[in-house]
């Protein structure tokens, strides 16, 4: 395998971590060597006719890391910094997230290197439909089921579903998740990642003989995950004292009224333009003296350089990989509990799985049923990770990845290597 093919810091960190945990968990060496790299990766050119009649060509990707446990599952992101390396790393994390949550799914991820904020609605639709056409042979309800991610939403998923359905001649609801309710989406899907993170936090507080009431929480990121995590924590009596977006952060030691803040944010599109609280930086937010810190924006924001500045006793990884492996070791030694991304932000893929099941059966559940099932899955996974971390004397991130790798390993060994 040409290691330079996926060269990039995020992928290299992910691979190094897999190697570290794999050896610690005594994963079969042949299985481990296979898990370090994706099963397949597709790179496509996506030509789009823009509103001014010119044609621009964007780079797109779809990576399937493992299909051992079931069809691929993972989001599609539109962001100017998307690379093959990043998508490959995210696809591998999806493999282990689905495994840890005991879902019958493999890991995949996709993306297009584009700034979606600079596209008109027509341009975004043209981009989505052409990208879908390019990856069409690799996706399907039994092959690989995409979902929304950074820069994409329910409307994007609707265009993907329609493009796929047009190609086969009939409606295929199960090809995509995160769809609008009207065309087969699931109730509870929009806020599922944030709700799953709060379910996970509640369980962590329980084992520490505590609860959410009056806990101070700082949340980096106020997109779908961060805003919903803030809302559900607020509803449970926690004080959300700081939130942030790309422009900066705002701080109020008495806590924000999150429903009002969400309403104002929809209008201003910038937290720092809302006249509530004190303006601080994202780095200052991470170092606040709070009970809980939820990094729900980008990967690699807590590193060995700022880990010692962290004062929160619990970190909930709302984003993918916000705490680097080196930082995690430092935090563990400080007694900080890090709830790992493959557990804490798994709510989205759990409800995506529920949506897929409902679409395939053409039988849909009410929101209470969705949330009840989500809590069951998250709670069960949390208990497994917590018990292993306590039994083995290891941190939660290592415990979670060990359990996830063990399940994939068992599946790979049972299926064997074809051909021999």
Cα–chain-centroid distance for residue 200? Answer: 14
Cβ neighbors of 364 (< 8 A, separation 6 or more) are 186, 187, 358
Contacts within 8 Å (CB) and 24+ apart, 264-271: 265/222, 265/227, 270/245, 271/222, 271/243, 271/244, 271/245, 271/247
Q: Which of 97, 109, 179, 239 is catalytic?
A: 109
Contacts within 8 Å (CB) and 24+ apart, 165-172: 167/133, 167/136, 172/140, 172/141
Cβ neighbors of 292 (< 8 A, separation 6 or more) are 201, 215, 216, 217, 218, 238, 312, 313, 314, 315, 316
Pairing assessment for the beta strands 216-220 and 292-295 based on DSSP bridges: parallel
Q: Print the SS3 string covering 355-414.
A: HHHHHHHCCCCCHHHHHHHHHHHHHHHHHHHHHHHHHHCCCHHHHHHHHHHHHHHHHHHH
Catalytic (active site) residue 109: yes
Residues 419, 197: Cα–Cα separation, whole Å: 41
- β-strand partners of 40: 64
Encoded tokens for 197: 């993170």
The residues annotated with a catalytic role in the active site are: 109
């Amino acid at each position: 395998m040409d290691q330079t093919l996926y060269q990039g810091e995020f992928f290299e960190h992910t691979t190094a971590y897999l190697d570290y945990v794999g050896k610690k968990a005594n994963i079969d060496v042949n299985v481990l060597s296979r898990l370090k790299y994706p099963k397949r990766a597709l790179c496509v050119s996506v030509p789009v006719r823009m509103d001014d009649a010119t044609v621009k060509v964007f780079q797109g990707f779809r990576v399937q890391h493992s299909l051992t446990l079931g069809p691929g599952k993972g989001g599609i992101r539109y962001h100017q910094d998307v690379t093959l390396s990043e998508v490959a790393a995210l696809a591998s994390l999806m493999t282990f997230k689905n495994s840890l949550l005991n879902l019958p799914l493999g890991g995949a991820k996709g993306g297009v290197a584009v700034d979606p904020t600079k596209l008109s609605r027509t341009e975004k639709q043209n981009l989505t439909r052409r990208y879908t056409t390019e990856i069409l042979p690799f996706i399907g309800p039994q092959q690989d089921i995409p979902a929304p991610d950074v820069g994409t939403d329910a409307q994007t998923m609707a265009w993907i579903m329609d493009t796929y359905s047009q190609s086969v001649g009939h409606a295929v609801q199960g090809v995509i998740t995160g769809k609008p309710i009207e065309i087969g989406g699931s109730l509870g899907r929009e806020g599922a990642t944030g709700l799953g993170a709060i379910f996970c936090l509640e369980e962590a507080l329980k084992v520490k003989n505590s609860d959410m009431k009056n806990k101070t929480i700082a949340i980096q990121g106020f997109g779908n995950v961060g805003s919903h995590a803030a809302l559900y924590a607020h509803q449970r009596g926690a004080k959300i004292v700081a939130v942030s977006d790309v422009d900066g952060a705002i701080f109020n030691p008495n806590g924000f009224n999150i429903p009002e803040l969400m309403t104002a944010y929809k209008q201003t599109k910038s937290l720092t333009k809302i006249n509530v609280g004190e303006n601080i930086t994202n780095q200052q937010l991470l170092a606040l003296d709070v009970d809980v810190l939820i990094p729900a924006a980008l990967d690699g924001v807590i590193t060995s350089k700022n880990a010692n500045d962290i004062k929160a006793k619990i970190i909930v990884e709302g984003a993918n990989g916000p705490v680097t492996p080196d930082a995690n070791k430092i935090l563990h030694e400080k007694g900080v509990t890090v709830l790992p991304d493959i557990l804490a932000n798994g709510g989205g893929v759990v409800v995506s799985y529920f949506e897929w099941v409902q679409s395939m059966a053409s039988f849909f559940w009410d929101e209470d049923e969705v949330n009840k099932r989500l809590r069951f899955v998250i709670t069960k996974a949390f208990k497994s990770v917590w018990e292993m971390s306590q039994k083995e004397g290891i941190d939660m991130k290592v415990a979670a990845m060990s359990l996830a790798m063990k399940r994939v390993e068992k599946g790979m060994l049972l299926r064997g290597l074809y051909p021999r």
